Amino acid sequence: MSRTIPKRVHVFLLACSVTIASGQRVNADAQHIADFQQRVAAYVKLRNEAAAGMPGQKPTDSPGKMNNQERELAQKIRSLRPSARKGDIFTPEITAEFLRLIRLAWRSSDAARMKRSLARSEPVSITLHTNDAYPASIPLQSMPPTLLENLPLLPKELEYRVISHNLVLRDARANLIVDFIEHAIP
Amino acid sequence: MFSVLLTACAPPLTTAQTQPHGLKLQLPENPKAVRFAVIGDTGTGGKEQYEVGTLMAEAHETFPFEFVLMLGDNIYGGKTPEDFKRKFEDPYKALLDGGVKFYASLGNHDDPNERYYKPFNMNGQRYYTLKKGDLEFFALDSTYFDPQQLEWLQKELSSSGGKWKICFFHHPLYSDARYHGPDTDLRSRMEPILQKYGVNVVLSGHEHVYERIKPQGGIYYFVLGNAGQLRPHDLRRAANIAKGFDTDRTFMLMEAADNDLYFQTISRAGETVDSGAIQKLKRAPY
């Protein structure tokens, strides 16, 4: 079975080819992504510590139990990162790298489709705070697959979401806003 | 490639069985067939959702479908236990009590954690497969179609032995409704894989209308996002549509055996708005 090269690799190669003359720039970009992945790994470690004392997540007939587990996990995570703030994961350097990747994607031939997808994804506007829950009654915007391909891969515990023009890192199981970049999406 | 025998305006395939609401079933009722129902964008808790649920239960008395596919937006708004009761458990109580299983996919109005709600039979997964007889179903999460899910889908489709491969997920790849329209970014990523691995039918919701799209690349696309919600008069006249309905809620019944798949789309008033048969023919390898 043949495999096409994922789009994100195309973008990454494009990024490298644009800056290949400056070896330092390529290394810096890769370093920022590596830093991002380390910070994400640190969050996941903390999160798994929070989940350690809880019963394993299993399907249940009880929506109340489901909601309670979500809230309990979120509270435990908050207690382990009480002073978490915006920029703990998306540092200024990592933010700059993400903005560069997003702008590259926005200049690609897929840009028009991504914009349409976002425009039709029932955009919402909420005030974002690190460690907050995403409001249950407000729908999540769906993510254009091409945009996901152009961003660094995440572990299964986390997901990217676009909320208005902001890029949010969200803990899906805990329904927690882990960090975010404002005005990330053109 | 498929041929479709349209019978919406033709005599029914079997002797029509008339039920209390005047519901006339037009399916072969082959005892060997896999039978199921399809609903989308249901979770309003509104009167209309309940009426469709009642009609489905009535249909089930004569056409005992085994399970129901849910195309997302299963619970709108809040997600308290009362919401689950009012927007899912009560409207479909007769079916649930009768042992009919519901298999859900996630929509943009759903909390991804609904995958842990046992009656949705997602087994904690955002995307999963389901085998019933010769049919293999692939429930996808179109709200978050990331590279990992794409890779999973490729792997599952390539190894599937299902005679019928049916994908169901929330966002339509093809639609002539005005409000959202098709998700062309999702289409660009998903459609090549669906075609490559011989998917036969795609079921989606999100648009609050009913549409049967003309085959695209050998795949039959249905949009049924109006089993609870409705956006009246939202359909455009367009070349892609084989049949559309946007003035009331609907649900769909399907049965498949061997190389034939039959469908009947029924409105809240109990009228057949679309029906037909899809015959599975030999396809050249991709």
The answer to whether residue A154 is domain-embedded is yes
Q: Which domain holds residue A161?
A: 7-181
Backbone dihedral angles phi then psi of residue B31, each to the nearest 5 degrees: -65, -20
Domains of chain B: 2-280 (3.60.21.10)
Do the beta carbons of residue A125 and residue B123 sit within 8 Å? no
What is d(CA B160, CA B155) in angstroms, rounded to the nearest whole number? 9
How many CB pairs below 8 Å do chains A and B form together?
Answer: 109
What is d(CA B17, CA B15) in angstroms, rounded to the nearest whole number? 6
The answer for A 65-84 residues in CB contact with B (under 8 A) is 66-67, 69-70
Predicted confidence at residue A2, as pLDDT, reads: 38
Chain B residues whose beta carbon lies within 8 Å of the beta carbon of residue A122: 108
Q: pLDDT over 70 for what percent of chain B?
A: 90
Structurally, chain A folds into a number of domains equal to 1
The answer to whether residue A85 is domain-embedded is yes
- Gyration radius (Cα) of chain B, Å: 17
The answer to whether residue A140 is domain-embedded is yes
Q: What is the pLDDT of residues B236-272, one digit of tens each?
A: 988 899 999 999 999 999 999 989 999 999 999 999 9
- AA letter at B123: N
The mean of the pLDDT values for chain B is: 91
Q: What is the pLDDT of residues B18-59, one digit of tens each?
A: 555 668 899 999 999 999 999 999 999 999 999 999 999 999
Predicted confidence at residue A18, as pLDDT, reads: 44
**Under an 8 A CB cutoff, do B116 and A60 touch?**
yes
- Which residues are B2's β-sheet partners? B280
- The answer to whether the complex's ipTM is over 0.90 is no
**A60 and chain B in contact, CB less than 8 A:** yes
Question: What is the mean predicted confidence (pLDDT) over B207-231?
Answer: 97
Instruction: Identify the segments of chain A with pLDDT beneath 50.
Output: 1-5, 10-11, 14-22
Chain B residues whose beta carbon lies within 8 Å of the beta carbon of residue A143: 143-146
Residue B220 has pLDDT above 80, yes or no: yes
The answer to whether residue A1 is domain-embedded is no
